[in-house]
């Protein structure tokens, strides 16, 4: 098996899947406030643009655009995961291993690639059967994009 080589592109746009160790867990939605707090903290110190984001009970899909001259998304994820785990431990008083060690990343290479991955994020709660419509899932940047006029609230992924 060959070693996976992460993209080294500076200022790129990337799609991520980040997963909990326990795939039956609902920690991410049960403690979404801690996750949001962790992301805000890291983002304030190591800026990036959230293009799209969806939080499901046991995994996250996100699309980030990094600043020019910066390609260190791995450190950002490491810090988010560490901070969330620390805050969760403080809240629950339980020591636990929360995250899978690695995450999956894909470099966005075109406008079409970006569109496909944004749609993937927003349709994921429907795909997993959590809701019947994208608009019904509260843990998504879809609602921000509706407010910005980028999506209609009744969007369902069909053209």
Check: CB of residue 17 under 8 Å from CB of residue 59. yes
d(CA 89, CA 28): 13
Quick one: which of 88, 106, 107, 119 has its CA closest to 22?
88
The answer to whether the beta carbons of residues 73 and 64 sit under 8 Å apart is: yes
139 is a catalytic site residue: yes
Distances (CA, A) of 38 to 58, 79, 101, 103, 114: 17, 8, 18, 17, 25
The active-site residue out of 4, 120, 122, 139 is 139
In the numeric block, which tokens belong to residue 79?
């810090």
Residues forming the active site: 139
């Amino acid at each position: 098996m060959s070693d996976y080589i992460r993209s080294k592109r500076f200022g790129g746009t990337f799609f991520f899947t980040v997963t909990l160790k326990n795939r039956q867990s609902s920690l991410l939605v049960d403690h979404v406030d801690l996750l949001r707090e962790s992301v805000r903290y890291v983002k304030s110190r190591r800026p990036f643009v959230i293009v799209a984001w969806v939080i499901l009970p046991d995994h996250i899909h996100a699309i980030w655009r990094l600043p020019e001259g910066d390609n260190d998304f791995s450190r950002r994820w490491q810090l988010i995961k560490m901070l969330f785990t620390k805050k969760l431990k403080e809240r629950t008083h339980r020591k636990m291993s929360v995250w899978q060690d690695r995450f999956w990343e894909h470099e966005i290479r075109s406008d079409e690639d970006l569109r496909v991955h944004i749609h993937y994020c927003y349709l994921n709660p429907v795909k997993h059967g959590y809701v019947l419509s994208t608009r019904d899932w509260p843990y998504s940047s879809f609602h921000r994009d509706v407010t910005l006029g980028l999506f209609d609230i009744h969007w369902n992924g069909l053209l």
